Structure 1
Amino acid sequence: MVGVGLRSPHIDTVLTTRPPVGWLEIHSENYFNPHALARQQLRDIAQHYPISCHGIGLSLGSADPLNTQHLQQLKHLVQELDPIAVSDHLSWSSVNGQFFNDLLPLPYTEEALRLFCQKVEQVQEVLGRRLLIENPSSYLAFAHSTIPEWEFLQQVQQRTDCHLLLDLNNIYVSAFNHGFDCQQYLAAMDPATVKEIHLAGFTVKTVDDGEMWIDTHSRPVSEPVWQLYRQWVRQHSAQHGLVPTLIEWDLDIPDFAVLQQEADKATLIIQQEAEHGLIVT
């Protein structure tokens, strides 16, 4: 099942034309106000599409306590929508109650791991359901990190019994920026715990000592990321089933038809692998 991220420029299109996509993912925080027009529009859309709630504000990696108001607003949204998934990021975005408009990287240490897991468990207890935790894209690393990101993420899953949201573009971008191997990262993932996949585009930025790849979500999915997706579908779908796949596009947002075309590419990969007898759709 392939879906796209629902962004505000496309709400009217979705409401009036009901394009043939498998599901829609929202940024949860945009719909917290139960009396806002956006929430009413979402109620209408949810009558026709499965919805996933993707959060960017829980700040699970922060030393700050969880924002209880934020968490209660998320709980009310989830109770109303009964979404197919609720997700957030392996990151932090607040300190001393001040929030930043960024998903910041964690130091991959045992202390940070314990803290992050405590937060995930608290959220899961309040929501009464498992979270999906998404692997980040990153551009700098902490010198005192002692655990590779893929092992850190797996430890989070094992200690909290959460699920994973695997962003293949983030893996590809971070692998270039930090010099690790995408295949090593993917091999460390337990496919039984991966319940959603994200695909997006990135931007190449020239810096003083070369290039940095930025996860901008402002371009079509790159061919190498499509290849990673095909590899994942081929290797794991027969045993573990197809997982919902999402096309993300957050900046320089094009017409909905462009996102539809990207979603169709993912669907075609699934169909091609099925035709070779490698998966059952």
Structure 2
Amino acid sequence: MNASAGISFKPQHFDAALSTAADGLWFEVHAENYMIESGPRRAMLEQLRAAWPLSIHGVGLSLAGDAPPDAEHLTKLRDLVTAFEPFLVSEHLAWSRFGDTCFPDLLPFPRSAEALDRITANINIVQDALGRAILIENPSLYMALDGHEMEETEFLNTLAYRTGCGLLVDVNNVHVSANNMDFDPRAYLATIDHAAIGEIHLAGHGVDPALGDALLIDSHDAPVAEAVWELYRDLIAEIGPRPTLIERDGNVPEFEALIAERDRAAAILAHQREPVHA
């Protein structure tokens, strides 16, 4: 499909999602909410898929964990992808499982050569199981870790080169991490492999109650900040249109408010498609 703008699907928006006439719209869902065989939630997704393209975004494969992806989880994901034929499948550069314990978070890790080999192997396992390439999303960072042997963009670029996966660039994550870890977000976006970018996420963030602006939180509970829109506009001007998602998980507004943000992203994408006249 052509690069266009979508929004993260919320069940309370089901009727509006089916009745809207937004041109080029698509929806993203979290895989783990739909890895079931039947029931109202699954039936809802079937109707949504009949009307609009879908992207499936995983949060539970724990690709940076110390073990291969859980076999049962991966089988359920494969079955979901087979059933709904999403145009994109993505996951996070993070871990969330240790042994039989699952953590409700996307946790950081030292970017070492050992971690690179382990995550490369895990991505290959997932792609072999799904029969397709996936996209890997850059994380939000909140504290310095010991043991890093390479910059994050080098790590992501190398993963893409070794596995053939694509990259999902969350521009809000870049902004949050740059603020918290004191680096230049534009330098980050300049050094990531532009050819590997298959999708972009835009979301809102908040501030830490105690530290304020010194520590931004990737909360997904607010409109996209103007600083993130500026980074996005500049990135699209540099790399060209890519599928772009408006991501909202908390303080979810009415459907029309999300469509308005989505339309803003769509306008930026459309501007880059306009022919240049001498």
TM-score, normalised via structure 1 length: 0.93
Match of 2:215 among 212, 217, 238: 212
Task: Tell me the distance in 2 between the aligned counterparts of 1:173 and 1:208.
Answer: 14
* Correspondences of 1:123-202 after superposition (within 5 Å): 123-202=126-205
1:43 partnered with 2:46: yes
Contact 1:63 1:95 in 2 (8 A): yes
1:72 partnered with 2:75: yes
Contact 1:206 1:212 in 2 (8 A): no
Q: CA 1:216–1:208 in 2, change beyond 3 Å: closer, same or farther? A: closer
Q: Which runs of 5+ in 2 are unaligned?
A: none
Task: Tell me the distance in 1 between the aligned counterparts of 2:35 and 2:55.
Answer: 14
Contact 1:105 1:141 in 2 (8 A): no
Q: Secondary structure at the match of 2:96?
A: strand
1:92 partnered with 2:95: yes
1:14 partnered with 2:17: yes
Counterpart position of 2:55:
52
Q: Secondary structure at the match of 1:100?
A: strand
Taking only aligned residues, the RMSD between alpha carbons, in angstroms, comes to 1.6
**CA-to-partner distance for each residue in 1:213-261, whole Å, 9 max, x for gaps?**
0000111111111111111111111xxxx21100000011111111001
1:37 CA displacement: 1.0
Counterpart position of 1:260:
259
Counterpart position of 1:2:
5
Task: Tell me the distance in 2 between the aligned counterparts of 1:154 and 1:47.
Answer: 35
1:184 CA displacement: 1.7
* Correspondences of 1:98-109 after superposition (within 5 Å): 98-109=101-112
Contact 1:107 1:141 in 2 (8 A): no
**CA-to-partner distance for each residue in 1:7-32, whole Å, 9 max, x for gaps?**
222223323x2352610000011011
AA of the residue aligned to 1:48 = A
Counterpart position of 2:269:
270
Give percent identity, aligned residues only: 40
Task: Tell me the distance in 2 between the aligned counterparts of 1:121 and 1:193.
Answer: 16
Q: CA 1:217–1:63 in 2, change beyond 3 Å: closer, same or farther? A: same
Q: Which runs of 5+ in 1 are unaligned?
A: none
Q: CA 1:259–1:75 in 2, change beyond 3 Å: closer, same or farther? A: same
Match of 1:33 among 4, 18, 36: 36
Q: Secondary structure at the match of 2:238?
A: helix
